Amino acid sequence: MKRYSVFAVAREALRYHTGWERAWRSPEPKRHYDVVIVGAGGHGLATAYYLGKNFGITNVAIIEKGWLGGGNTGRNTTIIRSNYLQDPSAAIYEKARSLYETMSQDLNYNVMFSPRGVIMLAQTEHEIRGYKRTAHANQQQGVQTEWITPERVKELVPIINLHGPRYPVLGGLWQERGGTARHDAVAWGYARACSDMGMDIIQKCEVTGVRVENGRTVGVDTTKGPIDCDKLGMVVAGNASVLAEQAGFRLPMESVALQAMVSEPIKPCMDVVVMANTVHGYMSQSDKGEMVIGGGTDGFNNYTQRGSFHHIEETVRALVETFPMVSRLKMLRQWGGIVDVTGDRSPIISKTPVENCFVNCGWGTGGFKAIPGSGWAMAELMATGHSPLTEEFSMMRFREGKFIDESVAAGVAH
């Protein structure tokens, strides 16, 4: 793999850009792999990457029924933060946030990580108590967050209206090292690195069945033929329950659509990410000037990836009160993604009832921010059978009643 650098750009400019090679190979699948990862989104690619980087396991296939990064990875709003209340959540999200900071250098691919900061607005007395509690918990966890006053919020976000008629801004939970990254670049960077290690990325290859013999996974059936494997990782977000059914077990989760939209591009006016759980909306500004806007999930189970007028109305109505300028913007485009939600709003990174079959799902509305930490933990679990980052996220916790309640932190899409 040729390294990307300013010198490479200059050299190829002189060659009229005829010397660039493909970022990753697109081979036909082999008959057998040590590991098969189903799902070539951010989490699946990160799992494969850390299997190779940390454990030297490179006889790996990453199978994707569509195109690489075409699911939730390419449909989210790119917010990165780690200010969660529960210790297991804070640990894995902070691991992810720290890996994002060096990802461009590690992958030799610019993922456009921007630590612009994230504010979670408190607009009720209940939220003040909740966010101050989270700030104290984060101090104990080693996560850098702080409670800030309304005046400080206004200083950071000049376009905000502190005195909304229904929900005034009473302060906020501020994580200075939170921010955003380019979602497509994260997937492409991991894919390029995986391919360079000799792993096979197989697109347009749908899994039609999981083969289990004597309680142990032995391979998958696909639209490109059967593929044998010693270990299988299911990393398919909203479709995890469908794949689990093929393997003979059920997952305690549901799938719902999460919608978002972007406005027409405007001049820079907001250089932080703002989340407002009470009015149920959040907003940031992209590098191209678009206002990236989102809210909560649909109120019913579905697998659609389309938007709806009802959601536009509900989300924009919530944000107009806090950001009056939104009322004058034209919407540029809207989309939906299929998110997988568990009862306690925390993920599942776990062994399954089928031997050598592992699952990574249930990230709900917060999957993008967890990609590198999730991949790191899943790779460790698959390679060694144990990871300190995944201990509390077993699917068995629902049977044992050991919930990791993050319903407040995940109360709005993010």
| Same domain as 278, residue 163 | yes
Q: Which domain holds residue 366?
A: 27-106+182-252+344-400
Report the half-sphere exposure of 208 (CA within 13 A, side-chain side). Answer: 9
In this predicted structure, what is the pLDDT of residue 106? 97
Contact partners, residue 118, CB within 8 Å, separation at least 6: 79, 80, 81, 83, 174, 175, 178, 179, 272, 273, 274, 275
In this predicted structure, what is the pLDDT of residue 114? 96
Q: Which residue type, as a one-letter code, is found at position 370?
A: A
| Same domain as 160, residue 66 | no
Question: Is 320 within a domain?
Answer: yes
Q: Which residue type, as a one-letter code, is found at position 377?
A: A
In this predicted structure, what is the pLDDT of residue 167? 86
In this predicted structure, what is the pLDDT of residue 302? 84
Q: Can you tell me whether residue 153 is helix, strand or coil?
A: helix
CATH of the domain at 79: 3.50.50.60
In this predicted structure, what is the pLDDT of residue 409? 56
Tally of domains within the chain: 2
| Same domain as 333, residue 267 | yes
Contact 270, 159 (CB under 8 A): yes
Question: Is 9 within a domain?
Answer: no
| Same domain as 135, residue 57 | no
Q: In sequence order, what E strands does 214-272 have?
A: 216-222, 225-234, 253-263
Report the alpha-carbon angle 109-48-118, nearest 5.
Answer: 55
Strands 225-234 and 32-38: parallel
CATH of the domain at 281: 3.30.9.10
302, 319, 342 - which closes a domain: 342
pLDDT tens, per residue, the chain with 414 residues: 788 999 999 998 999 888 898 999 999 999 999 999 999 999 999 999 999 999 999 999 999 999 999 999 999 999 999 999 999 999 999 999 999 999 999 999 999 999 999 999 999 999 999 999 999 999 999 999 999 999 999 999 999 999 987 889 999 999 999 999 999 999 999 999 999 999 999 999 999 999 999 999 999 999 999 999 999 999 999 899 999 999 999 999 999 988 899 999 999 999 999 999 888 889 999 999 999 998 878 888 888 887 788 878 888 887 888 899 888 999 999 988 899 999 898 999 999 999 999 999 999 988 999 999 999 999 999 999 999 999 999 999 998 888 998 865 554 444
Report the half-sphere exposure of 65 (CA within 13 A, side-chain side). Answer: 16
Pull the structure tokens for residue 201: 């990325």
Give the span between the Cα atoms of 375 and 45, in whole angstroms.
Answer: 8
In this predicted structure, what is the pLDDT of residue 411? 44
